[in-house]
Amino acid sequence: MYELGPGILPHSVCIPLTPTARAQKLYFYPVLCGHYFCDGQYQVSRSSYANPLLLFVRSGALRVQYGRQTYQAKKGDIVLLDCDRPHRYAAEQQVEFLYLHFDGCNAHALVQEATADGPLLQRADTVAVGEQLYALIRSYRKHGIENEAGDSLHIYQLLMQLTMPQQGIAQRDAPISRTVQYIRGHVGENITLHELADMAHLSDCHYSHAFKQQTGFSPSEYIINTRLEKAKMLLLQTTMSVADIAYEVGYESGSSLSNLFLRKVGCSPREYRRSNGVFVK
């Protein structure tokens, strides 16, 4: 156990964990966790820290400074920090909280995605996340690291829960999601920007901006990628000719599909088919 510092009351628990080289290479993994009861003397101040931090406040409050912003985390709130910049958190009188330092795979990227609007997460599902974190810390205290893959799954599930849109955001994005499903269901048809925007009840410009914000692609890029995805599937799973596949995914000729493959994949459709072990006479 680590020696507990100023402001950390005696019945607090700190659990250092040592991930294996395999876990560090393949999985999400815990580094340090604990269940703290603190008084007003408790504070942590760092210029940076290697491992992201997930913290759940069970009672009381913490003042959190991250970069140039200051937040107050109260009972039921979650603090998620990438810890890559100066940060400080301190107790406001009495506070009880759970914490987990973790890392691995794309952990930092997921944390950044979840905290795009700031490290203080006040959501309808934070209590459920706190309960999962409490169970995880109890398990580490009792057994240590028992199952690397299982630990990775638990941490990943926590992060996924925090990156999933809340209901209000999901309702806001629903028109875009409907058009995404329409594109995927009508990949062989001529789909226009105006048609999609009209379906979402938005102007063409507003729709294009909202679509790219949600998917990372412009509508035209997404249509092309969806056509390419289906063409790849047909090349590998059927004996259809390149010309027939081109027609199936919305192109008038095999040469149009070949040009798309050369540009996006770096080889022709026939070469793609052969390189994946499929031979068609």
- Of 93, 87, 86, the residue nearest 62 (C-alpha): 93
Residue 279 has pLDDT above 80, yes or no: no
Mean pLDDT of 232-246: 91
| Digit-coded pLDDT (tens) for 135-158 | 999 999 888 887 888 889 999 988
- The CATH fold assigned to 169-275 is Arc Repressor Mutant, subunit A (1.10.10)
Q: How far apart are CA 39 and CA 61, in angstroms?
A: 11
Q: Where are the domains of the chain?
A: 13-163, 169-275
Percent of the chain surpassing pLDDT 70 = 94
- Asked if residues 188 and 250 have their Cβ atoms less than 8 Å apart, the reply is yes
DSSP code per residue over 233-264: HHHHH----HHHHHHHTT-SSHHHHHHHHHHH
pLDDT computed for residue 267 by the predictor: 92
Dist CA 232 CA 226 (whole Å): 10
**Residue 275: count of CB within 10 angstroms of its CB:** 10
Q: Residue 8 has what pLDDT?
A: 93
- pLDDT at 124 > cutoff 80: no
Local confidence band at 169 (pLDDT 50, 70, 90 cut-offs): very low
Q: Using one digit for the tens of pLDDT, what is the confidence trace for 75-111?
A: 999 999 999 999 999 999 899 999 999 999 889 999 9
CB 155, CB 112: distance < 8 Å: no
Alpha carbon separation from 184 to 41, 47, 112, 197, 216 (Å, rounded): 57, 46, 29, 16, 16
Residues 232, 245: Cα–Cα separation, whole Å: 9
The one-letter code for the residue type at 103 is D
Lowest mean pLDDT among 10-14, 89-93, 125-129, 250-254: 125-129
Q: Considering the entire predicted model, what is its pTM? A: 0.62
pLDDT digits (tens, 9 = 90+) for 193-221: 999 999 988 899 999 998 888 778 899 99
Which of the following CATH numbers is that of domain 13-163: 2.60.120.280, 3.30.200.20, 3.30.930.10, 3.40.50.11740? 2.60.120.280
